[in-house]
Structure 1
Amino acid sequence: MTLTISPQARDALSHWLDAQSALKGAAQNTLTAYRTDVAEFIAFLTHHHAEPQGLAPLARITVQDMRSWMAHLRGQEIAPRSIARKLSAVKSFYRWLAEREGFEPTAVLSARAPKFQKKLPRPLSQDAARAMIDTVELQSTTGWQGARDAAVVTLLYGCGLRISEALGLKGRDLPLGQTLRIVGKGGKERIVPVLPVARRAVEAYLTLCPHPMSPDEALFRGARGGALNPRHIAKVTEQARMQLGLPATATPHAMRHSFATHLLSAGGDLREIQELLGHASLSTTQAYTSVDQVHLMKVYEACHPKA
């Protein structure tokens, strides 16, 4: 379906995204997803009503319009989780638009997201996490690039960083001390401990890196000296997990999951782990307790004499 959006709707969408960025500190990836989801929704309404959807038509949205849109999404075989994400973006946009334009957004806000089974994180075992770091380093024929990739993945596992947070480090963050200040989602700051193994990995990379390091430039560089693209880390991680025979869930983000799960298994406090991960809600961190319980049940079933 061609994205047909009226100038008024396009301006409103742009102003809403600006507000999300300025007031809530939404990350760029989040803003891009919001833009796509809401633009597709408005384009659907344009096609559905066969007329441009300016601000007045958007304000006249009905419950039937919402049902038709969600039926359209289901007809495209979009996963319930993705439908829920799109609906959340549309609701957020309509709350802002309704307050600005003075209409009642009940038809949108009353729409219910489809139920879906939340996927639990898939952590690696401790041995697999260590093997992943070692094997990632071997994916490049250039020594400094291999050391760079190992340093990035070590930070994901050793500090529980998101890939965007690791690649967002600058020269000004050097030298790495015992702690590191991270600005995560929504501009939320947190302090994470840096293990000696992570410091050594970064120092090994810096020793070999051919590009000069200045305070405002990215710590991790691509081959030509620009900021390293996260797709590269995803690629070398995929290559490494295939060599190791690990499942497709062994992604860069799985290293962060593994960090949290292994801390929990070692007796870490759930709220402290929440702070280390930068989760806004404890419920997000609590997913790891389910993972740990699954692991405990497997051990129990394997070892109990009457299992």
Structure 2
Amino acid sequence: RLLSDKIASLIGMSVGVQQDAYTIILQIPYIDRYYGSITRCIQELFKTEYDLSEYIMKSAIRFGLFRRRLIHVARRFGALRKNVDIRSSEIRRIIKMLYDTVVFKEALNEFITKDLDLDSLENFLRSIRNNSIEVVILRLNTPSPLTSLALTKLSRKLELIPPERMDKIVLESTKVRLLEEVRVFACLKCKQWYEIARIKDYVHDLRCKFCGSEEIGVVACRENEITSIIAKKWKNLSRRERRIISRLKRSRDLLKEYGLRALIAMGGRDLRMSDIERIAANFKDINDDFFKAIIETERRRLERIRW
């Protein structure tokens, strides 16, 4: 991956990469035009020291081995059902669903500590830099026997994945993720109680544990923000704190009107209250179409944020 990134930066085009335990295949466009520059890039790469840990942290999602590790950890944490069959190529659409979550961080930690051998790799690269190992670049008219075998294996990996199968995987993952999302629950009556909990912890009984009121609001904020509001007795607040209270009140109203539908939708990422209200109002039942509406709204919100 590091090699393909360097070559891609050099030629200004994407470079495909496939690898197994014995071979690395780079798919380089217009290789004849850039052959001299590419060979120099390869030679310089092996002579330069890199912080491999930092590079892997930034590039892990592109490793097939990491994607398989992510699936394993997601199943263990309950973010994916164990009976859902997922291939490595199918995980791309749900990586962003788990990105920067506890599941993702644990998968990254296990990937680095269990799946990789960075010490051996660093020793190998050090041996090249010290000239203990020589790198030889050969240009052949036909593939070598080992290359022919690698290309044959690569061709067998290429297959079409039905889009409907991907959609089902994303749907099942989203159902679990929404219930696992953590939010701040706060009482708008006694204004003393709050709790940081998962959405699924309050799907059956959403009441204040101090006064028993159902005047509960739900918001995504930091704990120190809600404790600051309570400490100030909900007065003389900053603009950010006033926005949090406004969202708490709006969410309380939606919970009263739409109940569980609104609560689950509040687990959506970066959704506005207007988004949550529209989704909750459009569905009388919590079914696949309900979750698909949340997925689509999240996608649109993400596109707006990017642009």
Could you say which TM-score interval applies, normalised by the shorter chain? under 0.3
Normalised to the residue count of structure 2, the TM-score between the two structures is 0.23
Question: Structure 1 or 2: larger strand share?
Answer: 2
The structure with more radius of gyration = 2
TM-score under structure 1 length normalisation = 0.23
Structure number with greater CO (CA < 8 Å, separation at least 6) is: 1
